[in-house]
């Protein structure tokens, strides 16, 4: 028996790696390439970017025998079944969208902080997401699910919420996950010339990038679409070579026939990796469908070619950069000589080059400073799933940030320290090695607790960036849950997780209208119920006791008449029955979990969402079985009785 039902934390861990810690690829397409995309999908309102976006998730849209080989700095190669990437618009566009919204909001909201107002684009620190809009989106999703009556369970809703919290394309100086790794120019061979491409590149390079963004790390690449029927193989290979010699740029070739009358199509969801704003826009423009139909042959080509691009260009580029930074910046920094000289350097440094070092006025490190490069190295190695190396790098660079009083960098690297550490601990490969008590004590008391306190202070009080703190909490909650699951060590973490979830709820409550029910609150209460309910304080060898408990519950609820003994047998009616949970007294928290579920149900009942109430009632059944008559909990003055009446399931009705 599975209890409670909820989202598997490993699933959310997977989503975290796919949507937050995956390479960001920016795409710029020519007009004719966009026209081609519209012809492929046979719809007017689609661009190349939208066409590619879903295919970035190559665990969902995979090819057969898909394997990605990644070699780390210790030259150990590991295979991974998927390596998702995120397609986003080019950097200038991303920055201009964000600065546009900032300028708008800064007139009304004084809390927004301008960070970099160089001669280039303005990049400012503003909230990751607005809880108000998230609430709006979730309400829509919940209503949609309840209209359908089936499908989206509450766990999907939580996953949706989690996805939206972690998905962002904000460019900030202090973390480089959203700094593009590759810039791709998509051209149509039939329409666009080499000259056009050159112009595009020059135009792109001339953009005044923010001072913390290192354009030299950007891999320039091009996708060339051509029609295999009209263009010969030699011709296109010659073009590819010419591209390389003239512009020093590699290309991936897509042999696509746009105008085929193919019957077989495949439906692709456009909702992949979209942010809250994009989703809300889609909802407000009701006409747009969330799916597009793509001919099967084109679908296959897109999948295989993207796979080729990742394997041949993207991963080697990242590996090469990481090795270079490791060799040139990190190792010299770790060396013993550097430790001797670093103190003297700090004393006698006369700030000759003002570009190097922390710009405390605008809150960023210059792109050429070693600190910014090391932070990028850590981020990239996390993307390449080398969590241990990433952890040691974050830990190292954190000290430098603290020395420079670069608080936002400190907070961000503290967050990543915890995340990379927990990711490393919860990797499937080492799941049989349970960490010992001392390690756990160190992780909890020296890393997770102090860092979380510290970073939430920095984000909330120093910078007024509450959403960053909330995101950090939610991510850490999921990873801690993963850890509880993997090693069966709930007693280490449940109280901490409970504390963090309650903190998040309190944080969101401030920003939501007072006294009104909220979907976010309901979802978080539900997650709390799941957390508490799944914490069983039993050793692995004693888990059979839990099964015994479930068996008992089942037999008692199945047949009430347990006195079907032979007639004439003496039955002592006053004999006290053993409690149901006799085998696991004090080792489970089912009643506590039911309490949190009830609070969640109450929220849903105020939101009048019957579907969610009914789904959640299954999680309460174990403790408060609504089918039992004359029980105290179905009394009409109590919450459960009131709710059962509302959904028409009251046993006395």
Partner 1 sequence: MASYYFTIIGTLDRPLYELEFASFKNPTAQGVPGKSQFSASVKEILPFIANSSLDVVEDAQWNSNQFHLGKIDAFFGLQVNGYITQGNIKFLLCYETPTNANLALHAKQDDTTLKQFFNEVNDLYVKCLLNPFYSVNDAITSPDFDLRVKLIVRKYL
Where does this chain bind partner 1 (CB under 8 A)?
A: 537, 574, 576-577, 579-581, 585-592, 594-595, 598-599, 623, 631-633, 637-640, 642
Residue 486 beta carbon to partner 1: minimum distance, rounded to whole angstroms: 23
CB of 518 to partner 1, least distance (A): 15
Q: Which of 292, 238, 287 is nearest to 268 (CA)?
A: 292
Q: In a 3-state reduction of DSSP, which class is residue 33?
A: helix
Distance CA 364, CA 372 (A): 9
For residue 488, the minimal CB distance to partner 1 (Å) is 17
Q: Which is nearer to partner 1, 348 or 632 (CB)?
A: 632
Q: Are 497 and 481 in contact (CB under 8 A)?
A: yes
Shortest distance (Å) from residue 515 CB to partner 1 = 10
Which residue lies nearer to partner 1 by CB, 364 or 596?
A: 596
569: buried, middle or exposed (CB in 10 Å: 19+, 13-18, 0-12)?
A: exposed
Contact 360, 309 (CB under 8 A): no
Torsion of CA 541, 546, 551, 556, to 10 degrees: 150
Nearer to partner 1, 314 or 601 (CB): 601
Nearest distance in Å: CB 565, partner 1:
21
**Smaller CB distance to partner 1: residue 117 or 551?**
551
Q: By CB neighbour count within 10 A (0-12 exposed, 13-18 middle, 19+ buried), where does 648 fall?
A: exposed
Q: Choose between 482 and 640: whose C-beta lies nearer to partner 1.
A: 640
Gap between the Cα atoms of 300 and 62, Å rounded: 9
Concatenate the DSSP letters of all residues of 206-254 into one string.
Answer: TS---TT--GGGPEEEEEEEE-TTTS-HHHHHHHHHHHHHHH--EEEEE
Q: Which of 607, 605, 596 is nearest to 644 (CA)?
A: 605
Instruction: Report the DSSP pairing between strands 250-255 and 219-226.
Output: parallel
Locate 528 and state its tokens.
Answer: 């709390």
Residues 169/274, Cβ–Cβ less than 8 Å: no
Smaller CB separation from partner 1, 213 or 596: 596
CB of 589 to partner 1, least distance (A): 5
How many angstroms separate the CA atoms of 353 and 342, rounded? 17
Nearer to partner 1, 562 or 637 (CB): 637
User: How many CA atoms within 13 Å lie on the side-chain side of 227?
Assistant: 12
Q: What's the closest the beta carbon of residue 461 comes to partner 1, in angstroms? A: 22
For partner 1, the closer of residues 55 and 493 by Cβ is: 493
**Smallest distance from the beta carbon of 466 to partner 1, in angstroms?**
21
- In the complex, the smallest distance separating the C-beta of residue 491 from partner 1, rounded to whole angstroms, is 10
């Amino acid at each position: 028996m599975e209890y409670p039902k909820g989202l598997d934390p490993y699933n959310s861990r997977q989503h975290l790696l796919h949507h937050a810690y995956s390479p960001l690829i920016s795409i710029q397409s020519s007009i004719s390439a966009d026209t081609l995309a519209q012809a492929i999908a046979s719809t007017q309102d689609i661009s190349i970017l939208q066409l590619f976006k879903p295919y970035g998730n190559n665990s969902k849209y995979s090819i057969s025998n898909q394997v990605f080989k990644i070699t780390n700095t210790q030259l150990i190669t590991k295979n991974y079944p998927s390596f998702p990437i995120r397609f986003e618009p080019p950097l200038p566009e991303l920055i201009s969208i964000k600065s546009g919204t900032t300028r708008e909001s800064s007139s009304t909201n004084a809390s927004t902080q301008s960070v970099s107002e160089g001669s280039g684009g303005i990049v400012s620190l503003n909230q990751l997401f607005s809880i108000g809009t998230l609430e709006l989106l979730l309400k829509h999703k919940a209503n949609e699910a309840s209209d359908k009556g089936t499908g989206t369970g509450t766990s999907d809703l939580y996953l949706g919420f989690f996805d939206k919290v972690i998905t962002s394309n904000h460019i900030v100086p202090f973390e480089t996950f959203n700094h593009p790794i590759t810039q791709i120019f998509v051209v149509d061979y039939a329409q666009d010339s080499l000259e056009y491409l050159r112009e595009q590149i020059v135009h792109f390079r001339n953009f005044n990038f923010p001072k913390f963004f290192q354009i030299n790390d950007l891999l320039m690449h091009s996708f060339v679409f051509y029609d295999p029927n009209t263009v010969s193989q030699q011709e296109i290979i010659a073009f590819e070579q010419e591209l390389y010699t003239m512009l020093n740029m590699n290309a991936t070739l897509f042999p696509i026939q746009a105008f085929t009358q193919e019957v077989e199509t495949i439906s692709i969801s456009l909702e992949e990796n979209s942010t809250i704003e994009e989703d809300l826009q889609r909802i407000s423009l009701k006409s747009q469908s969330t799916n597009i139909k793509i001919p099967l042959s084109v679908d296959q080509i897109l999948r295989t070619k993207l796979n080729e691009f990742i394997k041949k260009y993207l991963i080697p580029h990242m590996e090469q950069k990481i090795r270079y930074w490791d060799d040139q910046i990190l190792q010299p920094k770790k060396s013993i000589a550097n430790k001797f000289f670093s103190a003297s350097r700090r004393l006698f440094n006369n700030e000759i080059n003002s570009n190097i070092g922390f710009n405390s006025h605008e809150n960023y490190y210059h792109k050429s400073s070693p600190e910014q490069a090391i932070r990028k190295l850590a981020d990239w190695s996390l993307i390449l799933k080398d969590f241990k190396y990433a952890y040691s790098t974050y830990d190292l660079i954190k000290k430098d940030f603290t020395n420079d009083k670069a608080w936002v960098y400190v907070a961000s690297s503290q967050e990543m320290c915890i995340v990379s550490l927990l990711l490393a601990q919860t990797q499937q490969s080492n799941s049989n090695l349970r960490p010992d008590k001392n390690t756990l004590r160190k992780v909890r008391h020296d890393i997770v607790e102090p860092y979380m306190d510290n970073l939430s202070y920095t984000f909330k009080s120093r910078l007024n960036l509450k959403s960053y703190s909330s995101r950090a909490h939610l991510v850490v909650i999921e990873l801690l849950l993963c850890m509880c699951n993997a090693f069966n060590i709930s007693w280490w973490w449940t109280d901490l997780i409970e504390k963090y979830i309650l903190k998040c709820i309190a944080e969101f409550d401030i920003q939501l209208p007072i006294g009104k029910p909220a979907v976010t609150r309901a979802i978080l209460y539900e997650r709390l119920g799941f957390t508490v309910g799944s914490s069983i304080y039993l050793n692995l060898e004693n888990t059979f006791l839990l099964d015994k408990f479930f068996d008992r519950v089942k037999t008692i609820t199945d047949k009430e008449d347990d006195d079907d003994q032979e007639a004439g047998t003496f039955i002592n009616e006053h004999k006290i029955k053993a409690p149901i949970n006799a085998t696991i007294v004090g080792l489970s928290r089912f009643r506590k979990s039911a309490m949190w579920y009830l609070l969640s149900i109450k929220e849903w009942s105020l939101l009048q969402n019957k579907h969610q109430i009914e789904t959640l009632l299954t999680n309460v059944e174990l403790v408060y079985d609504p089918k039992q008559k004359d029980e105290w909990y179905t009394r009409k003055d109590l919450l459960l009785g009131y709710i059962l009446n509302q959904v028409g399931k009251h046993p006395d009705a």
